[in-house]
Structure 1
Amino acid sequence: MINNIVLVGRTTKAIELKQNKNGTNYVQFTLAVNRPYKDEQGGQQADFITCVAWNKTAEILSTYVSKGTLIGVEGRLQVRNYENEAGVRQYLSEV
């Protein structure tokens, strides 16, 4: 099985380093990836993809990447799910 994703896009905001309950460093950020075509008005369309990085990679990203930085991301697609306050199952897709 292959689960490999390669993206090139721009970050939508500054990347902030966080720690989980176990003390592991991570960052979660959104990458805007332009589509190869424009809409009816000639405007550029983009997909906004949630990405997560851990440990040393997270530290490097939080130090050197700011809003609008063009970066390449290689990873795998992961789908998580949870129940919200209303009891409805929600699904999240992340790279």
Structure 2
Amino acid sequence: MNRVILVGRLAQDPEVRYTAAGKAVASFSLAVSRRVGQGQEQTDFIPVVCWEKLGEIVGNNLTKGRRILVEGRLQIRSYEAQDGSKRRVAEIVAQNVEFLDSKNGNAPKEDANNQNGYGFGPSVPDDQDIPF
């Protein structure tokens, strides 16, 4: 089974291109931290590719620094560089991307003193108008 799940932050804005057949493909690097010792972390920058509709959604909605979850598969491919040398690249081909924070980079905070008892975030005061 080839399944990868990563949580990290975009290292740069996604780059969206289109194939000759008109398929959208978005690519970006995901910065993922891991523990390497007592209290120490190291960051890996993992290339991610999103195809077709998912690529368009990623390209239109994500920017550098956004926190996301990527689910997909590991792909290792070979290609010939412009100088004629053979190269290999490992990348994640995304099948699902979940946005884990808001567009401005601030994740909604769960209210630790939540009074409604359900754990669904802060309660809305009864006297406040709700727009729906």
Note whether the superposition's TM-score is higher than 0.5. yes
Q: Who wins on radius of gyration, i.e. which is larger?
A: 2
Answering whether residue 4 of structure 2 is matched by residue 5 of structure 1, we say yes
- 1:56-75 equivalences under 5 Å are 56-75=53-72
- 1:14-93 equivalences under 5 Å are 14-37=13-36, 44-93=41-90
Answering whether residue 62 of structure 2 is matched by residue 94 of structure 1, we say no
How far the C-alpha of 1:43 sits from its partner, in A, is 6.5
Which protein, 1 or 2, shows the higher relative CO under an 8 Å CA cutoff with sep ≥ 6? 1
RMSD over aligned Cα, in angstroms? 1.8
* Matches of 2:59 and 2:82, distance apart in 1: 31
SS at match of 2:15: coil
Q: Which runs of 5+ in 2 are unaligned?
A: 93-132
How far the C-alpha of 1:38 sits from its partner, in A, is 6.0
TM-score in terms of structure 2 length: 0.63
TM-score in terms of structure 1 length: 0.85
- % identical equivalent positions: 39
How far the C-alpha of 1:82 sits from its partner, in A, is 1.6
